[in-house]
Amino acid sequence: MQLRYTFRIYPTPGQRQALSRAFGCARVVFNDALRARHNARAAGEPYVSDAALSRSLTAAKKTSERAWLGEVSAVVLQQALADLNTAYRNFFASVSGKRKGRKLSPPRCRSRKDHRQAIRFTANARFAITDDGRLRLPKIGDVAVRWSRKLPSVPSSVAIIRDAAGRYFASFVVRTDSEPLPVAEGEVGIDLGLVTFAVMSDGRVIESPKFFRRAERRLRKAQQALSRKRKGSKNRAKGRLRVAWAHAKVADTRRDWAHKHSTIIIRENQAVYVEDLCIQGLARTRLAKSVHDAGWGMFTRLLEEKAARYGRHFARVGRFFPSSQLCSVCGVIDGPKPLSVRTWTCRCGAVHDRDRNAADNILAAGQAERRNACGVWVSPEPVPAPCDEAGTHRQTTTV
C-alpha cells in the first residue's frame, strides 16, 4: 500500500523565492493547457491529447513569452499537466457514472491569489535526502526538514506545499506493506453525535472536543481586526496571516485528536462498525457549524484507512437503518423520536439510552452484514489461542 508522510520544512528566503517561481510556473502551465482544450472545444476541433499538450509545453519553453519556464524543473511542469489530465479523467468518470460520490465540475483555472500552492517532484527529478537530513530539490537547493520519524522506504515522489498560513511542508509518498496487529477479541459499534462525539456499544463515551467552538471568540477577534485593515496594505497581509494561523491551529488540533482516538479504537477491536451518515445533507441545516466542527468524515475515513493497514474489519451500516428507533432487546421499531428525547422505554419494558441503544443496533447490523446466508463469517473468524497446562492463553499466529 501507499502511504503519505508529511513533514514541516524551513526554506531560506532565497529558496522561498525559488519555490514561489515554481508555484507560478506550474500554475501557468496548468492554465495554458486548460485554455488550449477549451479553445479546441469552442472551435469544434478534436480533443487535445496529453501528448499534444506535452509537445506544446516543450515548444512554449523555446519562445520568448514563455522562456522563463526553463528556470524551474521540467518535472514540476510535467506534473502540472498530469494534474490536469487527472482532473479531466475524474470529471469524465463522474459524468458517465463510473465515479461514486457527488458529481464533479470541469477543471477550472488556478489563481495566483490562492493562498495554498503545491508542486510535485517525482523520481525522475532526482530529488534526494542528504546525509545531514536535508531535502535536495532540483533548482531549489537543500531545504531543512524537521523529521519526526523515519521513512519506511524510499519515497517515489514528494510534494512541496505552502498553506494559507505561510507554512511549508514536504509530503512524501512511500510504498509499504500492511502491518497486521495481533488478533483482538472485541468488536464495537459506534454512534456519532454532536453532544457526545461518539458512544460505543461497549459502554465507552468520547466527549465532543468542539475545537472550533472553543476558539470561536479568538477567530472572531482576528477576523474583525482583519476587516479594519486597508486592502492592499502590509498590515492587511499580516492580519490575514493571523487569521490563517488561528484556523490552522484549530484544524491541526482536530486532526491530531482524530488520529489518536481512531488509533486506539482500531488497536482494541477486531471489527469496527459505524453509521453511513449523510454529512453533506446535515451540513446544510442549522447544525452546519457543529457538524463541520465535529469532523465525522475525517474520523471515519481514518478508521477505514487504519483498519485496512492493520488488518481490521471496517464496515458502514446503511444511513436509512433505524438505529435510534429499533429496540436492541426485542427488535421492535418504536418510531421516530425528536433529538430532545435522550432516553425512552420500549413496550417490552427495556429502558434505553438513545445513543447507547443506537450503538448496539449498529454493532448487530454490522455483524449481520458480515455473515453470509449460511451464517458464516465472510472473512475467517479469529482463531482462539490454545491454552497451556496452566490454563493461560499462548500467542499464536493465524493465517
Q: What is the grid cell recorded at 162?
A: 505552502
Active site residue 163: no
Please pick, among 275, 304, 334, 360, the residue that the annotation labels catalytic: 275
CA 328 to CA 326: how far, in whole Å? 6
Active site residue 114: no
3-state secondary structure of 201: coil
Phi, psi of 286 (to 5 degrees): -70, -10
Active site residue 275: yes
Are 200 and 359 in contact, with CB atoms under 8 Å apart? yes
Please pick, among 187, 334, 355, 360, the residue that the annotation labels catalytic: 355
Please pick, among 191, 293, 304, 334, the residue that the annotation labels catalytic: 191
Bridge partner list, 7: 170
Amino acid at 155: P
Q: What is the grid cell recorded at 279?
A: 454529512
Question: Which distant-in-sequence residues (6+ apart) come within 8 Å of 329 by Cβ?
Answer: 346, 348, 350
Q: What is the grid cell recorded at 277?
A: 451518515
Burial class of residue 373, CB neighbours in 10 A (0-12, 13-18, 19+): exposed
Q: How many CB atoms lie within 10 A of CB 208?
A: 16
Amino acid at 43: A
3-state secondary structure of 106: coil
The catalytic residue positions are: 191, 275, 355
